[in-house]
């Protein structure tokens, strides 16, 4: 399985699609280099983005991100439905996060003796959790098209299953480190919620955990590090704009370069990664083989090149997996829209049905608000309880109900007809 990994893209409303965009050249070079790499490595099965898609959480920034990611994915032989995202601090609308009432909740969390338990209590309060998540509404509207949108208390982690070559599952967990983010961010003063400490180990499943903020930015850094080291063979972080790879006995931890760092940063080193993940062996002798291709920008002459380790262009690692054998009579594919933690997922055998559902979701996302509302109303998929929910949550519930009532094919046909008008 090939994973194309980007972080800290920082699309700015005032710059994108203008002649004065200082990142358009680098963005084009990343696309050209990724296309070249994918010709030899294969098409990406997942396009992983570890936060900071936008710069100020503006809808136009996310719209541009959607268009550019579609262009990138198709150029690499993949498709937009392969995108998996988690939020970063620049995906937060800071004018909302900086409001007095929101800051009051943030400060109460920071002052709590047990902030993890206190956060759980705030998530149970409708007013408090709305204050904590409202600044991520624009991000969630963007992430909805990939079924990565988040809403406390039940859906605070994005989740996706992708089959590995031996029939086992690589399970992606997208953590939210940005719900207490604002202009007051300080290193060591951000948080994850209780669900981030409950990632389970399962037979035939390899966990990949991705978060925007590096562990050093979290108040619960040691606790989270200990948990991830136990459960997640692959760990991915962004935010610090510095590429690092730590290879330990039971995990590999990758910290990413920024795709669009500030020009004043020293060194100025845009970058991205490609992770080639394979299971080798069977039964009691299974190993997860990871080949990380770290691509970094070189100046004078300009171009992307491999970051080397001991003379090699590839950072390799091997992790012993627990024994597992694929069942002889594996169950058929089944899409699960109400998986644990409120996420969308699949049973662990195949993910093709989920891929098809994401394709329908992408097309639904592209429709205007009025067309989405008309289709949802026509099939009776909106209910009174949805009135006070943000738009992305209302339309997610449309999909859940369409699936539960066997209306996905009818919904897809209505979307096709709406696209023609």
Per-residue model confidence (pLDDT) at position 353: 60
pLDDT over 50 at 325, yes or no: yes
Distance, in Å, from the CA atom of 381 to the CA atom of 375, rounded to the nearest integer, reads 8
- What angle do the packed helices 369-378 and 408-419 form, to 10 degrees? 140
Residue 273 φ/ψ, nearest 5 degrees: -135, 155
Q: Nearest CA to 253 among 279, 234, 229?
A: 234
Mean of the per-residue pLDDT values of the chain: 92
Residue 165 φ/ψ, nearest 5 degrees: -65, -20
| Structural domains in the chain, sorted by start | 2-320 (3.60.21.10), 335-419 (no CATH)
**Residue 123 DSSP SS3:** helix
pLDDT over 60 at 342, yes or no: no
Distance, in Å, from the CA atom of 404 to the CA atom of 179, rounded to the nearest integer, reads 30
Q: Do 182 and 92 meet the contact criterion of CB atoms below 8 Å apart? A: yes
DSSP characters for 51-74? S--BSS--HHHHHHHHHHHHHHHH
Distance, in Å, from the CA atom of 44 to the CA atom of 138, rounded to the nearest integer, reads 27
Please state whether beta strands 46-49 and 83-85 pair in parallel, antiparallel, or not at all (unpaired): parallel
Burial bucket for residue 220 (CB in 10 Å: 0-12, 13-18, 19+): buried
Per-residue model confidence (pLDDT) at position 221: 97
Specify the higher pLDDT residue, 251 or 359: 251
Per-residue model confidence (pLDDT) at position 66: 96
Please state whether beta strands 252-255 and 244-247 pair in parallel, antiparallel, or not at all (unpaired): antiparallel
Per-residue model confidence (pLDDT) at position 352: 58
Alpha helices in 98-243 (DSSP H): 100-111, 115-124, 126-133, 137-143, 221-231
- Sign (positive or negative) of CA dihedral 404, 410, 416, 421: negative
Query: What is the average per-residue pLDDT within 237-247?
Result: 95
pLDDT in tens, 126-170: 999 999 999 999 999 999 999 999 999 999 999 999 999 999 999
pLDDT in tens, 190-208: 999 999 999 999 999 999 9
Q: Nearest CA to 240 among 253, 223, 227, 222?
A: 253
Per-residue model confidence (pLDDT) at position 263: 87
Q: Nearest CA to 50 among 78, 77, 89, 81?
A: 89
Q: Do 144 and 155 meet the contact criterion of CB atoms below 8 Å apart? A: no
Per-residue model confidence (pLDDT) at position 361: 84
The reported pTM is 0.92
Query: What is the average per-residue pLDDT within 307-316?
Result: 94
Distance, in Å, from the CA atom of 91 to the CA atom of 97, rounded to the nearest integer, reads 11
**Residue 197 DSSP SS3:** helix
Q: Do 307 and 243 meet the contact criterion of CB atoms below 8 Å apart? A: yes
Q: Do 357 and 345 meet the contact criterion of CB atoms below 8 Å apart? A: no
Cα 203 to chain centroid distance, Å, stands at: 24
**Residue 251, C-beta contacts closer than 8 angstroms, at least 6 positions apart:** 228, 229, 232, 233, 234, 235, 319
Q: Nearest CA to 350 among 164, 220, 195?
A: 164
Q: Nearest CA to 78 among 36, 38, 26, 32?
A: 38
């Amino acid at each position: 399985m090939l994973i194309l990994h980007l972080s800290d893209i920082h699309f700015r409303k005032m710059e994108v699609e203008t002649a004065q965009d200082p990142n358009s050249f680098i963005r084009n070079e990343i696309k050209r280099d990724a296309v070249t790499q994918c010709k030899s490595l294969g098409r990406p099965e997942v396009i992983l983005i570890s936060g900071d898609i936008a710069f100020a959480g503006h809808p136009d920034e996310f719209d541009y991100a959607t268009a550019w990611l579609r262009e990138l994915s198709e150029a690499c032989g993949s498709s937009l439905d392969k995108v998996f995202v988690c939020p970063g601090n620049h995906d937060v609308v800071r004018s909302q996060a900086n409001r007095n009432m929101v800051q009051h909740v943030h400060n109460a969390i920071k002052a709590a003796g047990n902030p993890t338990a206190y956060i759980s209590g705030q998530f149970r309060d409708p007013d408090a959790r709305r204050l904590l998540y409202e600044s991520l509404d624009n991000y969630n509207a963007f992430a909805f098209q990939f079924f990565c949108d988040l809403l406390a208390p039940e859906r605070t982690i994005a989740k996706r299953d992708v089959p590995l070559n031996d029939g086992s599952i690589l399970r992606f967990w997208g953590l939210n480190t940005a719900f207490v983010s604002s202009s007051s961010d300080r290193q060591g003063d951000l948080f994850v919620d209780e669900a981030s400490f409950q990632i389970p180990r399962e037979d035939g499943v390899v966990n990949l955990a991705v978060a925007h903020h590096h562990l050093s930015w979290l108040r619960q850094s040691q606790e989270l590090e200990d948990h991830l080291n136990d459960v997640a063979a692959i760990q991915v972080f962004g935010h610090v704009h510095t590429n690092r790879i730590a290879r330990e006995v039971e995990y590999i931890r990758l910290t990413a370069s920024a795709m669009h760092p500030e020009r004043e940063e020293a060194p100025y080193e845009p970058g991205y990664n490609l992770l080639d993940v394979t299971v080798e062996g069977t039964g009691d002798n299974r190993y997860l083989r990871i080949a990380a291709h770290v691509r970094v920008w070189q100046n004078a002459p300009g171009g992307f090149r491999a970051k080397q380790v001991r003379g090699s262009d590839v950072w390799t690692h091997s992790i012993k997996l627990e024994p597992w054998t694929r069942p002889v009579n594996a169950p058929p594919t089944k899409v699960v829209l109400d998986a644990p933690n409120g996420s969308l997922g699949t049973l662990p055998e195949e993910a093709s049905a989920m891929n098809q559902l994401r394709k329908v979701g992408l097309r639904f996302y592209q429709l205007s608000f009025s067309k989405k509302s008309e289709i949802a109303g026509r099939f009776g998929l909106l209910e009174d309880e949805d009135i006070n929910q943000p738009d992305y949550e209302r339309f997610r519930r449309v999909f859940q109900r369409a699936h539960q009532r066997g209306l996905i094919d009818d919904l897809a046909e209505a979307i096709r007809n709406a696209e023609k008008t």
